[in-house]
Structure 1
Amino acid sequence: MDTLFPLLTPVELGLAALVAILAGFVKGVVGFAMPLVFVSGLTTFMAPELALAGLILPTLATNALQALRQGFPAAVQSTKEFRVFLAIGGIALLASAQMVRVVPAQMMMAIIGIPVTLFACLQLTGYQIKLSGHSRSVEAVAGAVAGALGGLSGIWGPPTVAYLTALNTPKHDQMRVQGVIYGLGAVALMVAHTGSGVLRAETLGFSLAMLPAAFLGVWIGMSVMDRIDQMVFRRATLFVLCVAGLNLIRRAWFG
């Protein structure tokens, strides 16, 4: 077997590429859920730590693409606008990543999965939960929750999207903001898990190998996203958010 991938068979590598394409497609359409699809798909045939390592570079690269799609100045403005979320989330992610091997992630997944699922289901049935403008305290709480879950599991999308959806963020703005938030979070995740030992020489090659498939999926997904209106985008986002929440509850229940 190729020494670049000592932990996987060729069949497993091919399956992983298919998972990466699907994860990229979902991200291209709604702006998030790449880690969710990656982890959910890859952990069916590989160790969770290897799956977490595999998603790090694709997540970092595709979020950079998403954040910069409307240009660098727009990305900088989004960074300033959500600076509290980013700062608190980054601190929480770095702290929780160091506890990935000692803190039961199932508990955190249940705590996040249940309210996220309820939020998405209520929104889909027509009950509107809205935030009137930025509240820095709410933003800080949302950032802390997203960062803590991200450090433990590599998945920080659901609480982030719930927060942006409650703010009724326009489609292209939401996509860009998510790219900025997840991109900076992915940098922190890479640094944190280089320190934790999850991303190391034997897993780095696998993460690099997932990049082309992830980019292909994102390109297809973004082409679809450009053709749908705000209401369809919102409902698609809420649907994926509901699935994400249910998956977190499943993982919390079954491990």
Structure 2
Amino acid sequence: MDIAFLLAVGASFIIAGFVKGVVGLGLPTVAMATLSLVMAPVQAAALLIVPSMVTNLWQLAAGPGLRALLRRLWPMLAAVVAGTLTGGALLPKDGGVWAVVALGAALMLYALAGLFSLQLRVPARHEAWLAPVVGAATGLVTAATGVFVMPAVPYLQGLGLARDALVQALGLAFTASTIALAASLALHGDFSLGAAGASAYALLPALAGMLAGQWLRGRISQELFRKCFFIGLFALGLHSALKPWLA
């Protein structure tokens, strides 16, 4: 790891941690978006494992009702793991330009959903069949892009959970996705001891950025920050999607 690489990783995770500190989510998404500017998505995905795991466990532990959420969400969580491992086995090991395009598309979809405050409504009677479908789709997107927000985040937001329960549910889903992504990368030789060490290094700037974001949270307009965040994320996604033709 040379100095330029360490600086790029550090800056990416400071920004990603800062966003998570302010709005409560977005660390893996922002890290993937920024790191993909300088490296392949599979390399970026390996780097985010440790920071994502630690910060999501932190978020998961802060909620009120883990056992009840596990009982409700386990079909989706199990499908996330299965979808990620299946996608990792079936998709090309090096997606090349199409992996970058897929990452850009996922980022743009997530950004548009946030910008326009798209809100699903998931009737309780449909959860039994919809949860595994959403989980499997999220797993496939995770395997292809390293981003595990679509369509899990809109689905969880549509369940009508209380705010604290929603934050904990997101932490639970992201933790399951991170574990599955780490397992998929390890099975294909993309999460070695060297990658684990680099990922552990990335935890320090991620936590520093997160603490700075939490300090600033009550001092700025969160709504304005969220809009700027999603606009920036859309721009990064557009750049990734067009990257093969810009080179």
Scaled to the shorter chain, the TM-score interval is 0.7 to 0.9
Instruction: Tell me by how many angstroms 1:211 deviates.
Output: 1.1
Contact 2:29 2:107 in 1 (8 A): no
Instruction: Tell me by how many angstroms 1:33 deviates.
Output: 2.1
Alignment partner, residue 254 of structure 1 = 243
Distance in 2, matches of 1:137 and 1:111, equals: 26
SS in 2 for 1:188: helix
- Superposed CA offset, 1:73-125 (max 9, x none): x233322221111011110011112325265435755775665455444437x
Equivalent residue runs for 1:34-113 within 5 Å: 34-70=27-63, 74-98=65-89, 99-101=91-93, 104-105=98-99, 108-109=102-103, 112=106
User: Matched residue pairs, number?
Assistant: 240
| Runs of 5+ unmatched residues, structure 1 | 1-7
- Does the alignment pair 1:26 with 2:24? no
Distance 1:244 1:189, change over 3 A: same
Distance in 2, matches of 1:110 and 1:17, equals: 22
Give the TM-score, by structure 2 length. 0.80
Alignment partner, residue 5 of structure 1 = none
Q: Once superposed, what is the RMSD of the aligned Cα atoms?
A: 3.1
SS in 2 for 1:19: helix
SS in 1 for 2:48: helix
| Runs of 5+ unmatched residues, structure 2 | none
Give the TM-score, by structure 1 length. 0.78
Q: 1, 4, 7: which one pairs with 1:14? A: 7
Equivalent residue runs for 1:1-255 within 5 Å: 8-70=1-63, 74-98=65-89, 99-101=91-93, 104-105=98-99, 108-109=102-103, 112=106, 116=110, 119-123=113-117, 129-133=120-124, 135-223=127-215, 232=223, 236=226, 240=229, 244=233, 247-248=236-237, 250-255=239-244
Aligned sequence identity (%): 23
